[in-house]
Amino acid sequence: MTADEKWMQLAIAEARKGVGLTSPNPPVGAVIVKDNKLLGKGWHTQAGKPHAEREAIADTLRRHSPEDLSGATIYITLEPCSSHGRTPPCTEAITTAGIIRVVYGAEDPNPDHAGRAQTLLESMHIAVSTGIGKAECQSLIRAFAKRQTTGLPWVTLKSAMSLDGRITRPPGESQWLTSPESRAYVQQLRFESDAIVTGGNTLRIDDPALTLRSIAAEQLRQKQQPLRMVITRGNRAALPETAQLFNDAYSDRTLVQENGDLMAAMKTLADADCISVLVEAGGTLMAAFLEAGLADEVALFYAPMLSGGPDAAFAGLPNDTHLHHQEYTRIGNDILLRALITPPVL
Amino acid sequence: MTADEKWMQLAIAEARKGVGLTSPNPPVGAVIVKDNKLLGKGWHTQAGKPHAEREAIADTLRRHSPEDLSGATIYITLEPCSSHGRTPPCTEAITTAGIIRVVYGAEDPNPDHAGRAQTLLESMHIAVSTGIGKAECQSLIRAFAKRQTTGLPWVTLKSAMSLDGRITRPPGESQWLTSPESRAYVQQLRFESDAIVTGGNTLRIDDPALTLRSIAAEQLRQKQQPLRMVITRGNRAALPETAQLFNDAYSDRTLVQENGDLMAAMKTLADADCISVLVEAGGTLMAAFLEAGLADEVALFYAPMLSGGPDAAFAGLPNDTHLHHQEYTRIGNDILLRALITPPVL
């Protein structure tokens, strides 16, 4: 691993702290280095708050003099912004700080902006290196990039099933198919999501809470509850009024999409600043997301049993959906598969 | 790892060479050690041929003098036999060789014989240690032990499916769901089996060969083709006479069980000296083995896709089957799950 790669890994670790918190912005991390020594680091904590570059510069100036900062290198997971948004351009902050080299991982996913920072910085005699840790940096902003380029959120299908792909327990069995460790991981998935989608049938049968709850108090303080979106094939009036989603403390954060219109539901969520959506639903709605080409990723938990129950975790798909970049992780007695449906363009 | 455990690992590696070759005997390995130096090693190659202990003694005497052998320790994966079978008792060979210590992993699974060698050897002032590498040694003889204690063979259910548990490709798709690496592994599973079971429907639809073929020539020479057993719910006459299994070079090794009688089929195979049976069949027969309590192990290949096809890899199970000792292995782009249906008694 080169020194550049090593420092970029640290910037990536900073960026990860923001996953689930920054929408509609992407999570971004930055570190500032001089003479192979770390001067400061930072991450983008929330839309409207300073970008990662400014956080790293501020962190450096809390510990060091402006003279120390001058002549340093900044490592950023994403190409710095070069135009005025809710905050002034980061390219300006970088040049003002006297930074002489900029290393970034992913290009701005907006094709009109991609590479613009490089041109601008080089015109001011600042050295620019790009593509360090590119795959990881692009993965970090995959939800942001999808909304930026398509106007739709990144959709992850989450399901827990037996090893023969069945979802429902026979009557009398425990309602929990998977282990406590897997259920804790689902809380983390919800933490990283802006909205959770379920179906009208799941609402009727399971009456789920779909809240963040079994998670560190420190994390809970950072984030408001995800939006909940119920997609029903009928209309709103046919859903049970007593459902938790319509009556709990966050009922103002529950949306309903009628007529099973997945595309309209996703546009509604994107318009509500959601970049990442987690679908926790039955087999029919899962399959509908795949058929509509709206799903980007899966997170599938397999419990160590063969079940043969009546309800498939994915029901009635007309075509095979091939998966890419599969990662298998043992979680308790279960196995978790995370994989991409659309192969990443690198 | 103690010295005893280290030498037992070597004996286990010897025993593995015999998996699939020794039926109705178990695979067994042995090494002979003196002053922490390896003198010789051996494995049981075939029923009727010398046991592993005699192979190891012979190997030692090819390289060393009888005086060197005298005073040595023998490590054996299984308790040595103490009665006359097709060969004279190994306890006799051990004492004759002047071996002064016997270390074995698994006890004789026949409850009438278990521990008998220990008693006999100790009465002749030979030191005996047991239980070294016990779990692995017991796993090696699991098929033998099942037939020995129940009169039935060890049954492994093998299936290849999509990640949502479906087996059949839509028309026009490749007939191979899994990768070349997984298909090579299936050849190894067949090599380790005495018989392969399939169903009448699979015979009609797929007309499989169920032969050992894509495997090293050296391995092919060691072993005759596994028996093939077709289990049909109807009678023999209703099966297609043109099927490969009835017409290929090994058609005399094809058996048919009528009336879907799984128990009769397994007894037939056990009577034909089979200890390990591999079931490669559709979802209904797979589930029937689970329902009948006749399945001991699964080897499930998952291809990286969601398929949603009509045919489940396990169809219509009335109850959950919990799995134990799951081992997941990445094979090419697939994942292989091996697990036990009956938890091992240790």
Residue A81 in contact with partner chain B when CB distance is under 8 A: no
Phi/psi of residue B150, each to 5°? -125, -10
Encoded tokens for B260: 């879907």
Question: In chain B, what percentage of residues exceed pLDDT 70?
Answer: 97
Helices B3-16, B52-63: crossing angle, 10 deg rounding? 110
Residues of A in contact with B320 (CB under 8 A): 162, 169-170, 173, 305-307
Write out the E strands in chain A. Answer: 29-34, 37-43, 73-78, 101-106, 127-130, 154-162, 195-199, 227-231, 254-257, 276-280, 297-303, 305-306, 321-322, 324-331, 334-340
Q: Identify the pLDDT of residue B170.
A: 47
Is A165 close to B170, i.e. CB distance below 8 A? no
Encoded tokens for A240: 């049970």
How many Cα atoms within 13 Å fall on the side-chain side of residue B92? 8
**Residues 6 or more apart whose Cβ sits within 8 Å of residue B122:** B128
Q: Residue A320: is its pLDDT beyond 50?
A: yes
Q: Residue B144: is its pLDDT beyond 50?
A: yes
**Residues 6 or more apart whose Cβ sits within 8 Å of residue A256:** A229, A230, A231, A232, A236, A239
Q: What is the mean pLDDT of residues B192-201?
A: 96
Q: Residue A177: is its pLDDT beyond 90?
A: no
Beta strands A305-306 and B321-322 are antiparallel
Q: Which of A322, A324, A328 sits opposite B335 (nearest CB)?
A: A328
CA dihedral A253, A142, A334, A215 (to 10 degrees): -40
Annotated catalytic sites of A, by residue? 53
Residue A331 in contact with partner chain B when CB distance is under 8 A: no
Q: Identify the pLDDT of residue A319.
A: 76
Q: Identify the pLDDT of residue A231.
A: 98
Q: Which of B173, B300, B305 sits opposite A321 (nearest CB)?
A: B305
- Do the beta carbons of residue A136 and residue A277 sit within 8 Å? no
Task: Tell me the nearest-neighbour CA distance from B225 into chain A, angstroms.
Answer: 30
Q: Residues 185..224 of A with a Cβ closer than 8 Å to B: which?
A: none
**pTM assigned to the model:** 0.88
Q: Residue B168: is its pLDDT beyond 70?
A: no
Q: Which residue of A has its CA nearest to B302?
A: A163
CA A246 to chain centre: 26
Q: Identify the pLDDT of residue A88.
A: 84
Question: What one-letter code names the amino acid at A217?
Answer: A
Residues of B in contact with A165 (CB under 8 A): 161-166, 312-313
Is B308 close to A298, i.e. CB distance below 8 A? no
Q: Which of B306, B316, B323 sits opposite A305 (nearest CB)?
A: B323
* Vertex B168 angle, CA B166 and B173, to 5°: 125
Q: Which of A158, A159, A162, A164 should we substitute to test contact with B (largest number of B Cβ atoms within 10 Å)?
A: A164
Q: What is the H or E stretch that residue B301 is in?
A: strand B297-303
Q: Which residue of A has its CA nearest to B174?
A: A320
* Vertex A179 angle, CA A175 and A185, to 5°: 110
Question: What one-letter code names the amino acid at A307?
Answer: S
Q: Which of B305, B312, B335 sits opposite A164 (nearest CB)?
A: B312
Task: Tell me the nearest-neighbour CA distance from B209 into chain A, angstroms.
Answer: 26
Q: Which of B307, B320, B324 sits opposite A317 (nearest CB)?
A: B307
Q: Identify the pLDDT of residue A344.
A: 61
Residue A89 in contact with partner chain B when CB distance is under 8 A: no
- The predicted-structure confidence for B81-136, as pLDDT tens digits, reads as follows 988 877 789 999 999 999 999 999 999 998 888 999 999 999 999 999 999 999 99
Mean per-residue pLDDT of chain B? 92
Question: Which of B53, B55, B107, B297 is flagged as catalytic?
Answer: B53
Residue A129 in contact with partner chain B when CB distance is under 8 A: no
Q: Which residue of A has its CA nearest to B315?
A: A308
- Do the beta carbons of residue B179 and residue A322 sit within 8 Å? no
Q: Residues 223..282 of A with a Cβ closer than 8 Å to B: which?
A: none
Alpha-carbon gap, residue B228 to B281, rounded angstroms: 12
Write out the E strands in B68-210. Answer: 73-78, 101-106, 127-130, 154-162, 195-199
- Residue that is written with structure tokens 């509609």 in the block: A24
CA distances to A262, B180, B216, B332 from B184, rounded to whole Å, are: 42, 6, 10, 11
pLDDT band at A318 (very low <50, low <70, confident <90, very high): confident
**Exposure of B6 by Cβ count < 10 A (0-12 exposed, 13-18 middle, 19+ buried)?**
middle
Phi/psi of residue A195, each to 5°? -150, 150
Residue B325 in contact with partner chain A when CB distance is under 8 A: no
Task: Tell me the nearest-neighbour CA distance from B310 into chain A, angstroms.
Answer: 8
Q: What is the H or E stretch that residue B279 is in?
A: strand B276-280
- The predicted-structure confidence for A81-100, as pLDDT tens digits, reads as follows 988 877 789 999 999 999 99
Phi/psi of residue B288, each to 5°? -60, -40
Q: How many CB pairs under 8 A join A and B?
A: 112
Q: Residue A174: is its pLDDT beyond 80?
A: no
- Do the beta carbons of residue A306 and residue B325 sit within 8 Å? no
Q: Identify the pLDDT of residue B179.
A: 85
Q: Identify the pLDDT of residue B262.
A: 98
- The predicted-structure confidence for B11-20, as pLDDT tens digits, reads as follows 999 999 999 9
Is B306 close to A312, i.e. CB distance below 8 A? no
Q: What is the H or E stretch that residue B255 is in?
A: strand B254-257
Mean per-residue pLDDT of chain A? 92
- The predicted-structure confidence for A184-234, as pLDDT tens digits, reads as follows 899 999 999 999 999 999 999 889 999 998 888 888 888 999 999 999 999
Q: What is the H or E stretch that residue A122 is in?
A: helix A116-123
Q: What is the mean pLDDT of residues B228-245?
A: 96
Alpha-carbon gap, residue B206 to B202, rounded angstroms: 5
Q: Identify the pLDDT of residue A230.
A: 98
- The predicted-structure confidence for B291-305, as pLDDT tens digits, reads as follows 999 999 999 999 999
CA distances to A94, A184, A187, A340 from A276, rounded to whole Å, are: 30, 19, 15, 14
Task: Tell me the nearest-neighbour CA distance from B26 into chain A, angstroms.
Answer: 29
Is A308 close to B318, i.e. CB distance below 8 A? yes
Is B162 close to A290, i.e. CB distance below 8 A? no
- The predicted-structure confidence for A269-311, as pLDDT tens digits, reads as follows 999 999 999 999 999 999 999 999 999 999 999 999 998 777 7
- Exposure string over A210-242, b if 16+ CB within 10 A, otherwise e: bbbeeeeeeeeeebebbbbbbbbeeeeeebeee
pLDDT band at B169 (very low <50, low <70, confident <90, very high): low
Residues of B in contact with A321 (CB under 8 A): 305-307
Q: Residues 27..56 of A with a Cβ closer than 8 Å to B: which?
A: none
CA dihedral A162, A166, A167, A171 (to 10 degrees): -90
Residue B322 in contact with partner chain A when CB distance is under 8 A: yes
Q: Which residue of B has its CA nearest to A313?
A: B164
pLDDT band at A173 (very low <50, low <70, confident <90, very high): very low
**Reported ipTM:** 0.83
Q: What is the mean pLDDT of residues B245-272?
A: 97
Task: Tell me the nearest-neighbour CA distance from B195 into chain A, angstroms.
Answer: 24
Q: Residue B346: is its pLDDT beyond 60?
A: no
Residue A123 in contact with partner chain B when CB distance is under 8 A: no
pLDDT band at B54 (very low <50, low <70, confident <90, very high): very high
- The predicted-structure confidence for A100-117, as pLDDT tens digits, reads as follows 999 999 999 988 889 999
Q: For chain B, give me the number of helices (H) and strands (E)?
A: 13, 15
Q: Identify the pLDDT of residue B345.
A: 57
Write out the E strands in B177-242. Answer: 195-199, 227-231
Q: Identify the pLDDT of residue B259.
A: 96
Is A320 close to B162, i.e. CB distance below 8 A? yes
Is B165 close to A169, i.e. CB distance below 8 A? no
Q: What is the mean pLDDT of residues A32-51?
A: 97
Encoded tokens for A96: 């003002």
Q: Identify the pLDDT of residue B171.
A: 45
- Exposure string over B16-30, b if 16+ CB within 10 A, otherwise e: bbbbbbbbbbbbbbb
Question: In chain B, what percentage of residues exceed pLDDT 90?
Answer: 80
Q: Residue A339: is its pLDDT beyond 50?
A: yes
Is B339 close to A305, i.e. CB distance below 8 A? no
Residue A325 in contact with partner chain B when CB distance is under 8 A: no
Encoded tokens for A274: 């959601």
